[in-house]
Amino acid sequence: MKPAPFDYYAPKSVEEACALLAEAGGGATVLAGGQTLLPLLALRMSQPFVVIDINRVESLKFVSRADGGTRIGPVVRQSEIISNDILKQALPVLITAAQHVGHHQTRNRGTIGGSIALGEPAAELPATAVALGASIEVRSVRSVRRIRAEEMYLGPYATALSSDELITSIDFPEWPVNTMPLFREVARRPGDFALAGLVGAVVIESGRIARAGIAWFGMGPTPIKARQAEAALVGQSIGSLDAQRLAELAIADTNPFDDRHATAEYRRTVARRIFVRTLSEALKQRQAA
């Protein structure tokens, strides 16, 4: 099939892009990497009146360190995340997550902002933003505001973004250099969306957990923060952690469902096991280092 007719614009500034979104009155969509949008257009599952291509907005292409964290522009490609030296030091778990997004070819076009804005419940990057406590800066002709990643997602492909708002940065708080990354997913094939996935980070100081950020993907209608497990981890000695009990707490925050790929019970079983394995292996590696 071919896309339904639409008007195409390629603004060169954030201000111009926001003005176009406002003028469209809810009938516009933003094109960044296009790895999801273009197939939807071709199948006419998405029929916007206006497509706004933000790839020429140079101010949206950056990775920078700022006081208290790391900022990433929404048009940064997923492959650029993987090779970025700043992120290798500041956010290694983000690199690991990006390495599991789609395939090599799609990562060369797919962007972090596109993934964050789409809100696919089984996607790696939205869950990573939730786990690490990121915030999303969005702009419109009306205002500039920040949305906490854990408040961004309302349901499958439903976000707190208004139709006239544009993501202008994804901001991650500071995590220490010695942060212990956590990541594991189970998918039918490499590149498929996860049936169940876990992402997060743990900070260890003087043999105890000082800070934890953990989220699930593929375990409910949105990325889900494992609040109970996070709270139970903080203050615990790494030598006496009960990984099985923590897994049960982490699973308690999820809301998996049955679909044609897996049942909710299968997802719970897999998630419980990958939590125990991931945490246990990460701690063993840290103690051996």
The percentage of the chain sitting over the pLDDT mark of 70, rounded to a whole number, equals 99
- Asked if pLDDT for residue 1 goes beyond 90, the answer is no
How does residue 149 score in pLDDT terms, banded at 50, 70 and 90? very high
Tens-place pLDDT, residues 209-233? 999 999 999 999 999 999 999 999 9
Mean pLDDT in residue range 248-257:
97
7-53 matches 180-288 in fold: no
Tell me the one-letter amino acid at 166.
L
Check pLDDT > 70 for residue 289.
no
Percentage of the chain beyond pLDDT 90 is 93
pLDDT at 53 over 70: yes
Domain 59-173 has CATH 3.30.465.10: yes
Tokens of 143: 């205002």
Q: What is the pLDDT of residues 123-138, one digit of tens each?
A: 999 999 999 999 999 9
Rounded to an integer, what distance in angstroms lies between the CA atom of residue 193 and that of residue 222? 13
**For residue 178, with 0-12 CB atoms within 10 Å meaning exposed, 13-18 middle and 19 or more buried, which class applies?**
exposed
Query: Which single residue is written with the structure tokens 């997060």?
Result: 200
Type of residue numbered 148: R
| Residue boundaries of the structural domains of the chain | 7-53, 59-173, 180-288
Condensed to tens digits (0 to 9), the pLDDT of residues 64-98 reads: 998 889 999 999 999 999 999 999 999 999 999 99
* Long-range contacts at 86-89 (CB < 8 A, ≥ 24 apart): 87/63, 89/177
Tell me which CATH code domain 180-288 carries.
3.30.390.50
Q: CA-to-CA distance for 254 and 184, rounded, in angstroms?
A: 16
What's the CATH number for 7-53? 3.30.43.10
d(CA 169, CA 85): 18
**Angle, nearest 10°, between helix axes 92-99 and 124-131?**
160
Mean predicted lDDT score pLDDT of the chain: 96
